[in-house]
Amino acid sequence: MLIGDVARRSGVSTRMLRHYDALGLVRPTGRTVGGYREYSDEDVRRIFHVESLRSLGLSLKQVARALEDPAFTPSELVSDLIRWAEDRLEREQELLRRLRTVDASAPTGWQDVLRIVELLQGLDSTSAARRQQAVLTRPEGVPVPAELLAGAVLSESDPNVAGALRWALARSGGDGMAALAAGLRSDDVDVRRRAVRAITEMPEAPGTTPVLADALGDRDPTVRRHAALALGRRGVTAAVPTLVAMVVEGSYDVDAAEVLGTLSRDPGSRHPGSRDRITTALADELASPTADSATRIRLTQALVELPGTDAQEVLRQLTHDEDRAVALVASALLGALEERSSDEPSPGARSAD
């Protein structure tokens, strides 16, 4: 079979067939009287073998090795192909991510495109200092997709760079909540912690509270605590059990006590009974047989943050507590509260002219 017939039937161009011949991959078995290449059936089968290996991504050099080297193992070839394919896909995914990021920024000119690309390159740097600089030196007025910043927050392990990214995300004016909410569903606990911290520093927006409320059920205590503090500051009483637990555990207990005090001062029309609920929860923990002296002192200090007579009555009872340290703390705090109350003008009092 002449070269033209082989090319027509196999789909391999005559130019490529000549190239295979020159490389020694597929040399025609014979020649015609006129010197033209003449391929046998075995030659044609070898052509298809070469084409099959090339379709897997092998170079012609690798194809030659696979065909000629008796020691060459198929498993080794397949493993190499898998690795090369994965690397290629990773590079293409990264390119796609960059293109989408640039497109999402709605660039008005090439300068905007270049600035976004520059930021992407800075965030991909192995140097934490350069990543931080890329965030903090961003020119004013240059739009940066919130999704880009949110994704960078979730993957950033350096605390200084992470702080800069959260700061930039909170001021981006964009909506990165979808990416952050997805981060809260990650199997990686570090990603969930980064996500909840970023959400707590974002301006309050529709959809934020339900996401944080779901985080109250996270299996990681750090995620639960950040969510509880943020929800409590936003007036959500569902955070009360976690906040009380934080006081008991001594983790961010001062912050938790302050937030409990804020919740107990909320208008009754919005959170009816929240003050009583918080006072009762703290009192129950004080009466727990498993509470040690340090825990009961923290609970006593938390009572001071609560307004109303009920909390003060619990403090009065604690001044006679069997634990001398608890009694002394309760007495000192109650005295400070009473002194502060005596200094405040009565509701009906008027200033003298």
* pLDDT at residue 345 greater than cutoff 80: no
Q: Mean pLDDT, to the nearest integer, of 259-287?
A: 80
The pair of structure tokens assigned to 248 is 């008991």
The pLDDT value given to residue 268:
45
For residue 290, what pLDDT band results from cuts at 50, 70 and 90?
very high
Name which residue leads in pLDDT, 174 or 93: 93
Name which residue leads in pLDDT, 173 or 303: 303
Q: Mean pLDDT, to the nearest integer, of 223-252?
A: 94
Rounded CA separation 323/319 (Å): 9
Tell me the CATH class for 3-72: mainly alpha
Amino acid identity, position 137: T
Q: Mean pLDDT, to the nearest integer, of 220-232?
A: 95
Q: pLDDT of 83-132, one tens digit each?
A: 777 877 877 777 677 677 667 666 666 666 777 777 777 778 888 898 88
Name which of 27-31, 227-231, 245-249 the model is least confident about.
Answer: 27-31
The pLDDT value given to residue 109:
67
Name which residue leads in pLDDT, 83 or 81: 83
Taking residue 321's Cβ as centre, other Cβ atoms within 10 Å add up to 18
The pLDDT value given to residue 30:
86
The pair of structure tokens assigned to 176 is 């990165």
The CATH 1.25.10.10 portion of the chain extends over 233-343
For residue 253, what pLDDT band results from cuts at 50, 70 and 90?
very high
* pLDDT at residue 68 greater than cutoff 60: yes
* pLDDT at residue 269 greater than cutoff 70: no
The pLDDT value given to residue 178:
84
Q: Mean pLDDT, to the nearest integer, of 346-352?
A: 49
The pLDDT value given to residue 265:
81
The pLDDT value given to residue 125:
82
For residue 75, what pLDDT band results from cuts at 50, 70 and 90?
low
Contact 13, 49 (CB under 8 A): no
Q: pLDDT of 7-62, one tens digit each?
A: 888 888 999 999 988 888 888 988 888 888 889 988 888 888 888 788 777 788 88
Name which of 133-142, 223-232, 245-254 the model is least confident about.
Answer: 133-142
* pLDDT at residue 283 greater than cutoff 90: yes
Contact 29, 39 (CB under 8 A): yes
Torsion angles phi and psi, residue 38, rounded to 5: -135, 120
The pLDDT value given to residue 352:
45
The CATH 1.10.1660.10 portion of the chain extends over 3-72
* pLDDT at residue 350 greater than cutoff 80: no
Taking residue 120's Cβ as centre, other Cβ atoms within 10 Å add up to 18
CATH number of 233-343: 1.25.10.10
* pLDDT at residue 143 greater than cutoff 70: no
Largest pairwise CA distance in the chain: 129
Average pLDDT of the chain to the nearest whole number = 83
The full 3-state SS of the chain, as one line of letters, equals: CEHHHHHHHHCCCHHHHHHHHHHCCCCCCEECCCCCEECCHHHHHHHHHHHHHHHCCCCHHHHHHHHHCCCCCHHHHHHHHHHHHHHHHHHHHHHHHHHHHHHHCCCCCHHHHHHHHHHHHHHCCCCHHHHHHHHHCCCCCCCCCHHHHHHHHHHCCCHHHHHHHHHHHHCCCCCCHHHHHHHHCCCCHHHHHHHHHHHHCCCCCCCHHHHHHHHCCCCCHHHHHHHHHHHHHCCCHHHHHHHHHHHHHCCCHHHHHHHHHHHHCCCCCCCCCHHHHHHHHHHHHHCCCCCCHHHHHHHHHHHCCCCCHHHHHHHHHHCCCCCHHHHHHHHHHHHHHHHHHHHCCCCCCCCCC
Q: Mean pLDDT, to the nearest integer, of 252-256?
A: 95
The pLDDT value given to residue 70:
67
Q: pLDDT of 179-221, one tens digit each?
A: 899 999 999 999 999 999 999 988 777 778 999 999 999 999 9
The pLDDT value given to residue 351:
46
Percentage with pLDDT > 90 across the chain: 37
The pLDDT value given to residue 323:
94
Rounded CA separation 145/130 (Å): 20
